[in-house]
Amino acid sequence: MVNLIWLIMLAFGILISTVRGNVSQVTESALKAAELGVEVAIELIGVMSLWLGIMHIAEKAGLVQSLAKLFGPIIKKLFPSLKPDSKAFGPIIMNLCANMLGLGNAATPFGLKAMQELQKENPNPDVASPAMITFLALNTSCITIIPATIIGVRMKAGSVNPTEIIGTTIFATACAMTTAVCADYIFRKRDRL
């Protein structure tokens, strides 16, 4: 499915540019995007190192474990395939917390770390494990309590009340997250390997 979507976006984009007599646009877009990909990754090196370093301190101090214990009961229900003492729980919880607080650039390092831990417990390294899918479902639909970026945009645009959309955002993300959890549960039951 990813292969198909990737191909359709690329081929469809090129076709439309061609039909509109704007072929040179394709070259420019492709090269610019390729450059951007590396830029994003380079920027991520710093943020990634910072948060992985802080997380390592938190781990050694027992903070990650306390966090895991606090959220353990809920999170363990969501990931029945993981062992109760799985090392993936720490980064999973930190990622979800960062997402909730709208700390997008802190969420990614924890998320990638969680994927690495989940991959260690994955019997089939080419194929997504149910725990990974559950994690990504939660990650992409996670409740946002502080949509910091968009509040900033609203402030700059001169909004009378930049934070008034927090309530609607929390409600919409709560519904999306509920959907993700239910859909994940249903598909997981249907799609046993």
Partner 1 sequence: MNIITELAKWAIPFILFFVPVYAYFRKVPVYETFVEGAENGFKTAVKIIPFLVGMLVSIRVFVDSGALEILTDILRPFFLVVGLDPDILTIIPLAIMRPLSGSGALGVATQLIHQFGPDSFIGRLASTLQGSTDTTFFVLAVYFGSVGIKKYRYALKVGLLADVVGLLVSIWIVTKVFG
Site for partner 1 in 9-68 (CB under 8 A): 9-10, 12-17, 20, 22, 25-26, 28-30, 32-34, 36-38, 40-42, 44-63
Task: Please check whether residue 65 is in contact with residue 90, taking contact to mean a CB–CB distance below 8 angstroms.
Answer: yes
Specify burial of residue 76 (Cβ count, 10 A radius: 0-12, 13-18, 19+): middle
Total number of residues that touch partner 1 (CB under 8 A): 110
Q: State the nearest-atom distance from the C-beta of 83 to partner 1, in Å.
A: 18
HEC per residue, 58-125? HHHCCHHHHHHHHHHHHHHHHCCCCCCCCCCHHHHHHHHHHHHCCCHHHHHHHHHHHHHHHHHCCCCC
Query: Does 70 help bind partner 1 (rule: CB under 8 A)?
Result: no
Q: Which stretch binds partner 1 (CB under 8 A): 69-77, 79-87, 173-181?
A: 173-181
Nearer to partner 1, 83 or 163 (CB): 163
Q: State the nearest-atom distance from the C-beta of 121 to partner 1, in Å.
A: 11
Q: State the nearest-atom distance from the C-beta of 156 to partner 1, in Å.
A: 9
Tokens representing 122 are 């994955």
